[in-house]
Amino acid sequence: MKDMDEKLLRELSSISLSRLYLSGMLDNIAASAAEALSADAAAILLLDEARETLTLRACRGLSSEAANNIRLPKGKGVSWRIASQRKPVALARVRDDPDFYHIPQTGEDRFTSMLGAPIMLGENCLGVLYVQTVGPRDYSEDDTALLQEIASLAAGSIQAGWHIERAQEKVRFLTALNDMSGRVSSTDDFIQISGHVLRCAAEIIQARTLIIWTAENGLPSLKHFPEATGDPEYLRPVRDGLITHVMKTRVAVKIDDIAVESAFAGLDRVAQKSIICHPLLLLDEVHGVLLAADRVSKPDGYFAPFTQEEFSALSDIAQVAAQAIQRSKAKQELASALVRNERNARELSILFELSVAMQQAYNFDDLLAVILSCVTVGEGLGFNRAMLFLVNENSETLQGILGLGPDTGEDAAQDWKKTTDQLKTGPGLIPWLLNRDLEEIKRKKFNAFATSLTISLSSDNALARAVRSHSPVNIASSSDMSPDDRLFAYALGCDRFAVIPLIARENAVGAILVDNLFNDKPITGEDLKLLTRFSAPTAWALENMRLVDRLSRTNRDLITLESRMAQVERMSALGEVSAELAHEIKNPLTVIGGFARRLYQKPGGEAGAGYAEIIVREVERLEMLLENTLEVTRGQFDNRRPVNLNQLVREVADLYWRVMTEEGIDMKLDLASDLPLVNLDSAQIKQALINLTINAVEAMSCKRHKLSRKLRIATSRTKDNSPGVVISISDTGGGIAPRDAPDIFNPFFTTKPTGTGLGLSLCRKIVRLHKGVMEIDNRLGVGVTFTLTLPNEA
């Protein structure tokens, strides 16, 4: 017996030391026990974690399928008595025992006797070991002692087995964790990181659901991963309750049964039973929260609380996840810092090249071309289109000076290719900037549009705002727009644009407008910063050029003043206007005076009554004349009545038809058929039209004029459909020289040897008296269009 003991103990300890899995060990113990006690069968049943069932884990002499499939519910059978009383039981005939509980299909109905012992580890019962024989058998005390010995050795083996299993579990966990940290390191994409984290957690933890919430400014964002887990709105209560709590307290939470836990709302939206939840915490910064819900218990599949091991495993996973997110953020910051650095370097080089080019630009036009080329070229600031405006202090407006940009997408692609080729093969950026084909730039429609713009500094246009506030304005979306901007954006054809003021000597001298119409690239804060830095040297260069210009202008103004004095003198002697008036007055005066003398010389004559009547009528005529003159000077009209503007235009056209033909001018009338009748003083308006027509004819009739001579008079309704009319008179007379443009409305200003200089000022006066607007679109080298908008004033 002793020999046998020694052999058995060696065998058993070799089993416990072996690296077999627990089930293999238990099989061997069962076999050894059956052999040692010369029994026909042996079985080992182990209590589960919850101590609710005894499960058959190994057997000898019973049906092989029985292992792991036989479960004894609590209190059933002799085995449960052994486990709960923790005492061995020896039964010669087991059926005679009151606790006998037959389990079918195990094959144990073949056996009669039973000797069982609890498997004790210290005070803790792990399960039951028993042997059986076919025939009845009375077990000796030695037998019982031997079985107890085997059971206690089995306990050690089971514990060792558990340790091994746990160690293996740990190895599996660490392997998975290591694998995960390797995978998460390979990407900076947050969604991919989350994917790896969740896959790893799913391998280690038997959870029904795993979710990550990300942090935004220290609070959980509405977004979670994987997004398929549920609608963010549906999970909002969870986020606002538990997740926010974990993120704020930075302490993990373990909930074994959500039915009992009442501190957080809406937990039933993610779980049915249990939850564990860890902050993704690294160096005092929370990057998110990792949640696992409903531990799936094996092998039954019901939902159980998470074990402490799983709780700490999830903590380790959260740690690795936090590191990965932190690293990804740091890397992104580094990347953007690198981009910033690169930008700074590029910025310096652009500013340098620009200042060199500006110093070399030798007249105003070249300077403008250099500035806008720098703003638009890819090697420079890279905007699609740019416009330059200068402040006109006299009229308090911003005047479009130059626009640089392609007219169409095709145009843009061609320009881009051409520029790239030129820069690649040419001598470099500075010479390229200085040798732009200004005429080509000016030919584009975009330039025509830019130079047609005059914006009041008191308006609510983005340009005016930028100049007034001395700070950039970025129209990133329609919500940034004033009503003026909306109209402007419509004309520009682009909803997103930015304006920087050009400031020199603390004065705004102008502004640059940029947009990205063709590639639709948003204008970022960085873009604006660079543009602002670029604006300072630009403003100074413009200001210097302007000072030179102003000096020569002052000089010229003196000359203009001199010639104007001469003209005023000429006028005062006997001007053309007063000549007209004199004739009108002189005739009635002659008549009145003449007949009055006759009456005086021949009082009481037959003809006396007739003379008096003539005198009365002529005096009335004089009064009327005087009244009309006063009306015009006072700005009142009594002669307004509904007028068909087209009719007036035709009358004027008829008057000048012959002159036009002689001068070789192609006159075209473009009259809208749906023109409403408008209350106008037809004589006054006709006068204005005549003046404008004469101006146009004279502009085109000078000898050195080489453009085709075209006069177009067009009428239309006002654009806003208000009951008003618009008339425009366009010529191809080459436009008004920029140096003359500011003066054209001044009375007595004229460029013609015989002009009075009253024509345009009178026109403007007439239009203003009608509460209308007179606009001028001056295109140098092309011609001028005067546009009169006349409202229907009662």
What are the φ and ψ backbone dihedral angles of 706, each rounded to 5 degrees? Answer: -115, -5
Binding segment (CB under 8 A) for another protein, from list 36-44, 158-166, 548-556, 588-596: 588-596
d(CA 387, CA 397): 15
DSSP bridge partners of 46: 55, 127
Supply the minimum distance, in Å, between the C-beta of residue 658 and another protein.
Answer: 15
591 contributes a contact to another protein by CB under 8 A:
yes
d(CA 744, CA 784): 12
CA dihedral 97, 101, 105, 109 (to 10 degrees): 10
Amino acid at site 324: A
CA dihedral 194, 200, 205, 208 (to 10 degrees): 50
Supply the minimum distance, in Å, between the C-beta of residue 624 and another protein.
Answer: 15
Question: 477's torsion region: left (phi>0), alpha (psi -120 to 50) or beta?
Answer: beta
- Residues numbered 329 to 368 that lie near another protein (CB under 8 A) are none
d(CA 327, CA 367): 48
618 contributes a contact to another protein by CB under 8 A:
yes
Closer to another protein by CB, 38 or 587: give it: 587
Closer to another protein by CB, 438 or 596: give it: 596
499 contributes a contact to another protein by CB under 8 A:
no
Supply the minimum distance, in Å, between the C-beta of residue 578 and another protein.
Answer: 9
What are the φ and ψ backbone dihedral angles of 31, each rounded to 5 degrees? Answer: -65, -45
Binding segment (CB under 8 A) for another protein, from list 303-311, 347-355, 474-482, 614-622: 614-622
Closer to another protein by CB, 594 or 791: give it: 594
Asked if 178 and 53 count as a contact pair (C-beta separation under 8 A), the reply is: no
Closer to another protein by CB, 93 or 586: give it: 586
Binding segment (CB under 8 A) for another protein, from list 173-181, 242-250, 302-310, 596-604: 596-604
598 contributes a contact to another protein by CB under 8 A:
yes
Closer to another protein by CB, 343 or 598: give it: 598
763 Cα distance to chain centroid: 49
Binding segment (CB under 8 A) for another protein, from list 80-88, 348-356, 447-455, 590-598: 590-598
Which residues 6+ apart lie within 8 Å of 672 measured at CB?
646, 714, 715, 716, 717
Closer to another protein by CB, 219 or 596: give it: 596
Three-state DSSP class for residue 278: strand
d(CA 354, CA 373): 10
d(CA 623, CA 620): 5
By CB under 8 A, name the one of 164, 599, 614, 625 that touches another protein: 614
Binding segment (CB under 8 A) for another protein, from list 17-25, 42-50, 462-470, 594-602: 594-602
Closer to another protein by CB, 585 or 773: give it: 585
Closer to another protein by CB, 327 or 621: give it: 621
Q: Report residue 603 as tokens.
A: 């009082």
723 contributes a contact to another protein by CB under 8 A:
no
First-to-final CA distance of the chain: 134
Contact string (CB under 8 A) for another protein, positions 388-417, x = contact: ------------------------------
Closer to another protein by CB, 9 or 607: give it: 607
Place of tokens 């705004």: 508
Closer to another protein by CB, 421 or 576: give it: 576
Three-state DSSP class for residue 23: helix
CB neighbour class for 427 (10 Å; exposed up to 12, middle 13-18, buried from 19): exposed
Amino acid at site 635: G
Nearest alpha-carbon partner for 513 in 490, 489, 533, 546? 489
Supply the minimum distance, in Å, between the C-beta of residue 620 and another protein.
Answer: 12
Asked if 715 and 727 count as a contact pair (C-beta separation under 8 A), the reply is: yes
By CB under 8 A, name the one of 182, 593, 635, 642 that touches another protein: 593
- Residues numbered 555 to 584 that lie near another protein (CB under 8 A) are 574, 579, 582-583
Closer to another protein by CB, 619 or 780: give it: 619
594 contributes a contact to another protein by CB under 8 A:
yes
Supply the minimum distance, in Å, between the C-beta of residue 685 and another protein.
Answer: 23
Amino acid at site 407: D
Closer to another protein by CB, 438 or 619: give it: 619
Supply the minimum distance, in Å, between the C-beta of residue 614 and another protein.
Answer: 5
607 contributes a contact to another protein by CB under 8 A:
yes
596 contributes a contact to another protein by CB under 8 A:
yes
Supply the minimum distance, in Å, between the C-beta of residue 595 and another protein.
Answer: 6
Binding segment (CB under 8 A) for another protein, from list 237-245, 337-345, 447-455, 591-599: 591-599
Supply the minimum distance, in Å, between the C-beta of residue 652 and another protein.
Answer: 19
How many C-beta atoms surround the C-beta of residue 538 within 10 A? 29
d(CA 31, CA 41): 8
Q: Report residue 671 as tokens.
A: 């009259």
Supply the minimum distance, in Å, between the C-beta of residue 514 and another protein.
Answer: 59
Supply the minimum distance, in Å, between the C-beta of residue 748 and another protein.
Answer: 19
d(CA 727, CA 745): 18
Supply the minimum distance, in Å, between the C-beta of residue 610 and another protein.
Answer: 9
Give the β-pairing of 666-671 and 710-717: parallel
Supply the minimum distance, in Å, between the C-beta of residue 717 and another protein.
Answer: 37
Binding segment (CB under 8 A) for another protein, from list 48-56, 246-254, 321-329, 593-601: 593-601
d(CA 162, CA 127): 14
- Residues 169, 172, 175, 177, CA torsion sign: negative
The site for another protein, by CB under 8 A, has a size of 21
Closer to another protein by CB, 331 or 597: give it: 597
Binding segment (CB under 8 A) for another protein, from list 194-202, 250-258, 611-619, 785-793: 611-619
d(CA 232, CA 225): 10
587 contributes a contact to another protein by CB under 8 A:
yes
Asked if 398 and 391 count as a contact pair (C-beta separation under 8 A), the reply is: yes
Helices 308-360, 525-574: crossing angle, 10 deg rounding: 30
Closer to another protein by CB, 441 or 592: give it: 592
Place of tokens 């007055």: 585
Spell out a b/e string for 341-363, using b for 16 or more CB atoms within 10 Å of the CB, else e: eeeeeebeebbebbeebbeebee
- Residues numbered 133 to 162 that lie near another protein (CB under 8 A) are none
Closer to another protein by CB, 31 or 596: give it: 596
By CB under 8 A, name the one of 332, 524, 590, 661 that touches another protein: 590
Binding segment (CB under 8 A) for another protein, from list 65-73, 194-202, 586-594, 762-770: 586-594
Place of tokens 């997103």: 496
User: Footprint of another protein on this chain (CB under 8 A)?
Assistant: 574, 579, 582-583, 585-587, 589-598, 607, 614, 617-618
